[in-house]
Amino acid sequence: MNHPLAGWKDKILFTPGPLTTSRTVKQAMLRDLGSRDFEFIATVRAIRERLVALAGAKPGEYEAIPLQGSGTYAVEAVLTSTVPHDGKVLVVINGAYGQRMVRICAVAGVACCSIEFSEDTVPDLHRVEQTLSGDPAITHLAIVHCETTTGIMNPIRQAGELAHRYGKRYFVDAMSSFGAVPIDAPACEIDYLVSSANKCIEGVPGFGFVIARRKSLLETEGCARSLSLDLLNQWRGLEANGQFRFTPPTHALLAFHQALAELEAEGGVTGRAARYAANHRALIEGMRAMGFEEYLAPELQGPIITSFRYPKHPNFTFEEFYRRLNERDYVIYPGKVSNADCFRIGHIGRIFEADIRALLAAIRETMADMGIELPLGK
């Protein structure tokens, strides 16, 4: 069954990114600009200014630094170029992306320790405080805001208060939340925030970005363990002549500039959050009606992506379920939870309640094709 909008939307992506994008964002890439072109330099400057504003910060207080590559490149840039060689990072983990930060530190030789919590649990900040107070070698605290392993939302403001109280630099991976969940970087005491072009701002893949407290960034001279991921030098290059140090993803930046305009037209972060929340409500209502169960308790669930447990039916296999939905032009996501069999459905990107309801209809048809009677568990 082809979706009526498939001609321009392609398959609809119910994933945590890359996402379904608008036709106008795609069209923004249908031109070529040189990296030294005055128009391109002005576009990059406008993007950087808008990102600082989206973080609730003032110009000069924070700096937005785009970096070629995926969001993980930007995460690695923070961890490998802002931690002193005698510094140490405490990573708070309750999912795969916290674990990834630990792996980055291990490969790069950055001293690191971690506190790990269950994937269906919000971190216990009392334990975090005990670790901060008990290990004076720790210089940085790192946490993921929306852990897309499950969709859980972590308490970044309260963690930031702890970092500030103990004099630590504070890093937030806001990859899947920035642009759809209000974040006040100064109020949260954030020194470094990372996200990516192809998440809630609804651009296309090609670069990540760091929003850094200027004062903290200027203290990182000599910390970098990589040439291409050197955050301070990337910022200095942009400040000096408006240009990237190495070839920029020009088309992705043009698309992102358009995506920022569409975010503003939708009512900014507040407007986008409202659409995503409506998508989430429609999804939960429809999936529960079919008998599916969410992995997380409702009070822990964020508006970005939801993990659902596999139905306990002998005819269900995720591979078959995924394939049949994909053939109907609906793309969902495998699970990443370590202690349960789950799959994930995203509610973000250029999708609306009508798209969610069409997905729900496709799931009902798919389950029928697989010989699984609904509602489940009856």
Domain CATH code at residue 49: 3.40.640.10
Beta strands in the chain (DSSP E): 12-13, 62-68, 89-93, 112-116, 140-144, 146-147, 152-153, 169-173, 192-196, 207-213, 305-309, 330-331, 333-334, 342-346
Amino acid 4: pLDDT: 43
In a domain, residue 86? The reply is yes
Q: What's the maximum distance between 2 C-alpha atoms anywhere in the chain?
A: 66
Amino acid 377: pLDDT: 78
Q: What is the CA radius of gyration of the chain?
A: 21
Amino acid 336: pLDDT: 87
Amino acid 276: pLDDT: 98
Q: Do both 100 and 208 map to the same domain?
A: yes
Instruction: Please identify every stretch of the chain with a pLDDT value under 70, giving residue numbers as ranges.
Output: 1-9, 378
Q: Do both 72 and 197 map to the same domain?
A: yes
In a domain, residue 374? The reply is no
Cβ count near 32 (within 10 Å)? 10
In a domain, residue 89? The reply is yes
Q: Do both 286 and 254 map to the same domain?
A: no
Q: Do both 50 and 148 map to the same domain?
A: yes
Please tell me the total count of domains within the chain: 2
In whole angstroms, give the CA distance from residue 175 to residue 22. Answer: 20
Q: Do both 217 and 293 map to the same domain?
A: no
**C-alpha count within 13 angstroms, C-beta hemisphere, residue 310:** 19
In whole angstroms, give the CA distance from residue 73 to residue 81. Answer: 12
Pairing mode, if any, of strands 192-196 and 207-213? antiparallel
In a domain, residue 326? The reply is yes
Q: Do both 82 and 195 map to the same domain?
A: yes
Q: Do both 259 and 168 map to the same domain?
A: yes
**Of the residues 247, 264, 281, the one at which a domain ends:** 264
Amino acid 96: pLDDT: 96
**Which position has the token pair 């070529």?**
32
Amino acid 378: pLDDT: 63
The side-by-side arrangement of strands in the sheet containing 333-334 is 305-309, 342-346, 333-334
Q: Do both 122 and 146 map to the same domain?
A: yes
In a domain, residue 82? The reply is yes
Q: Do both 119 and 93 map to the same domain?
A: yes
State which residues form the domain around 58.
Answer: 24-264
* Pick from 195, 194, 198, 214: nearest CA to 206: 198
State the CATH number of the domain containing residue 275.
Answer: 3.90.1150.10
Q: What is the DSSP letter of 95?
A: S
| CB distance 201 to 263 below 8 Å | yes
Amino acid 6: pLDDT: 42
Q: Do both 34 and 82 map to the same domain?
A: yes
Q: Do both 14 and 35 map to the same domain?
A: no
Backbone φ, ψ for residue 184 (5° rounding): -105, 95
In a domain, residue 378? The reply is no
